[in-house]
Chains A and B, each alone.
Chain A
Amino acid sequence: MIWSIAWRNVWRNKLRSSVVIIAVSLGLMSGVFSSAFMKGWMGQRMDAVLLTELSYIQIHHPEFKENYEFRYFIEDPDPIMKEIKYLDEDIKLSKRMVINSMVASAETGTGVMIKGIDPEIEMKVSDINKKIIEGTYFADAGRNPVVIGKKLADKLDVSIKNKIILTIQDQDGNITSGAFRVAGIYKTSNTGFDGSTVFVKNHDLATLIGLEPGKAHEIAIVLPDKLDLEEMTEIIAAINPDLLTENWKDLSPEMGYMDDLMGVYMYIIIIIILFALCFAIINTMLMAVLERVKEIGMLMAVGMNKVRVFSMLMLESIFLTLTGGVFGIILGYLIYIFFRKNGLDMSIWGEGLEAMGFAAIIYPEFDYGMIVPIIILVILTGIFSSLYPAFKALRLNPSDAIRTE
């Protein structure tokens, strides 16, 4: 009965309660949606890091990454790869040659990172083949094909079929140049990557610099979801104690940090919003108590004890907050549904975002696991907001409260 009294009390002052409910709804709506927005945004960046830029785990010669010096390659990558593959059928691997070089067109030149790959195998660990916006991903049979980023193509002012010159210092320190034909142009959400990474066939690169094609500087590994990243990193490192094994969190600590932070971020937004709303709820509950002094006095006189009076007011506050909370989650979800398909076009700021590696069109992602924690936070807010008004009510003296003078 206390529940039904509390619920009906919420609707005694319809306008006042509605205002609070709407405020809570709007607050949670923006909290829920901005969380979905952030989650989608980070998720996209994460996909880019994992699928395009870094893969999950990389193996190098321990000294290679200091200066990307040519001579620090992995002597015999194939048995290593076989052994890793043996750990689990679903692990995907690709070996790459990675060489710092100069690239030049008729127009201009710049420094780039050449990745020498086997296009077929690389597709298993990277989605660069899906990012082609012009030309093809090594589909033509022509000699020395190269796939470059849009940003680089613009800078060099080259397009499909144009020739570019790659200049490399080989392992003896001699400068070698080779002409490559632009076969495809890709575009990722990271212009930094697009401007500095070019892909050529392993074999072509080996020929150019006089290296046996079997060797590699880098083994890139993609793990299936069922395997734990840290655990696999340790296992793989143990297999190759002479090599440096790093996962993406080691390679890109800031992304690892962001990933960890994302989980907390949502709660921080929601808690800040709820904290701000607290004041409105406290105010409303205080008014509800003050205008009902005589009624509460009467209830205490006829036998309602403090626990019950307290519970009644607390429930009232919870109902008020929860109603707004549920509406807010639903509204936030509806906005998410609306943008889920077409994404939110942030291209007004796109250039800046893409320079930082973030996509310009953001596809929000709703985390269903957040619903229960949000509802719990909403209920806690209701309880918290009722404390002061309820304590005030408990201090009433029934004989004073009911006096009619």
Chain B
Amino acid sequence: MNIIEVKKLHKIYDQDTHPVHAVRGVDLNFKEGEFAAVVGPSGSGKTTFLNMLGGLDDPTEGEIMIDSVNINELSNRKKINFRMNHIGFVFQAYNLIPVLTAKENVEFIMHLQGRSKHDRELRTKELLEAVDLADKLNVRPNKLSGGQQQRVAVARALASKPKFILADEPTANLDSKSAANLLEIMEKLNREEHITFIFSTHDQRVVDKARRVITLDDGMIKSDVQV
């Protein structure tokens, strides 16, 4: 079953002044349990595409259905709640709240969701163990390496039990070893817990791990291959 259906998606920035056609007519579906990479050179529209998938930006044209909900028709308020409850985000940087510890960062979304303390603590521990950070529970982000921070971000993204996780260049700021390690953890979560991951990258080693590779060029799909 498709969890995401994208139809004739277009995005034009600054339509009135200097229009930039960042995404031009993308049609795509994602199934539950996918481990998909969106690749392409810088400026090809990866971030724009993922932001629209995550409801952070509105398409100029076309529609995005997530679990049969047209997210572009949601009010701003509902969209925020939809994001909180259904989509996990991992960004390239600035993922964590600097004044909170690793544990508190993971707990934070569950807090917003209004989950019980017992629930939160249990899941937080579980998730930080899953990303190999059981020993960093009470450490703040500035005392963690870049790789460790991104792993906390993955744990945080999973905390809300989302339908899928969007990761925009999650390894861009990492050295190759940390990048490989992060990918391994994501892959393990995908394999063992059936978590759906959609991530963008322009790192070949990351692309090699993906089971589906969607190549964007100048805002259009150049290829879409299952590996």
Chain A residues at the B interface, C-beta cutoff of 8 Å: 1, 5, 8-9, 12, 294-295, 297-306, 308, 397-399, 402-404
Determine how close the nearest CB of chain B comes to the CB of A198; give it in whole angstroms: 74
Asked if B94 contacts A303 (CB within 8 A), the reply is no
A9 touches B99 (CB 8 A): yes
State which size class the interface on B falls in: 20 to 34
Q: Would you give the shortest CB distance from A375 to chain B, in whole angstroms?
A: 26
The one of A1, A303, A399 that contacts B84, using a Cβ cutoff of 8 Å: A303
List the 10 closest A-B pairs by CB distance, nearest first.
A303-B84, A8-B99, A399-B56, A294-B94, A399-B57, A399-B51, A1-B111, A305-B80, A404-B92, A398-B56
**Chain B contact residues, majority secondary structure:** helix
Collect the chain B residues with CB atoms within 8 Å of residue A302's CB. Answer: 83-84, 89, 109, 156-157
Determine whether the beta carbon of B98 is less than 8 Å from that of A403: no
The contact sample of 24 A-B pairs, CB cut-off 8 A, is A1-B104, A1-B107, A1-B108, A5-B97, A9-B99, A12-B98, A294-B93, A294-B94, A295-B97, A298-B89, A298-B91, A298-B94, A301-B56, A301-B89, A302-B109, A302-B156, A303-B81, A303-B83, A303-B84, A304-B112, A306-B80, A397-B57, A399-B56, A404-B93
A308 touching B112 by the CB < 8 A rule?
Answer: yes
Q: Quote the shortest CB–CB distance from A311 to chain B (angstroms).
A: 12
In the complex where A301-B54, A301-B56 touch, is A5 in contact with B94 (Cβ < 8 A)? no
Report Cα–Cα, A306/B99, bound state, in Å.
20
Most A Cβ at <10 Å: residue of B85, B89, B156, B160: B89
Question: Does B100 reach chain A (CB closer than 8 Å)?
Answer: yes
Which residue of B54, B92, B99 is within 8 Å of A5 (Cβ)?
B99
B47 at the interface (CB under 8 A from A): yes
For residue B77, CB closer than 8 A to chain A, the reply is: yes
User: Closest CB-CB distance, B39 to chain A, in whole Å?
Assistant: 18
Which positions in B face A, CB cutoff 8 Å?
Answer: 47, 51, 54, 56-57, 77, 80-81, 83-85, 89, 91-95, 97-100, 104, 107-109, 111-113, 156-157, 160
Most-contacted residue by chain B among A297, A302, A303, A402 (CB, 10 A): A302
Cβ contact within 8 Å between A305 and B77: yes
Known: A303-B85, A304-B80, A399-B57. 8 other contacts (CB 8 A): A8-B100, A298-B95, A301-B89, A302-B83, A303-B80, A303-B160, A305-B80, A404-B91
A99 to B95, CA, bound (A): 88
Cβ 8 A contact of A402, one of B91, B97, B156, B160 = B91
Please name the residue on chain B nearest to A299 by beta carbon: B97
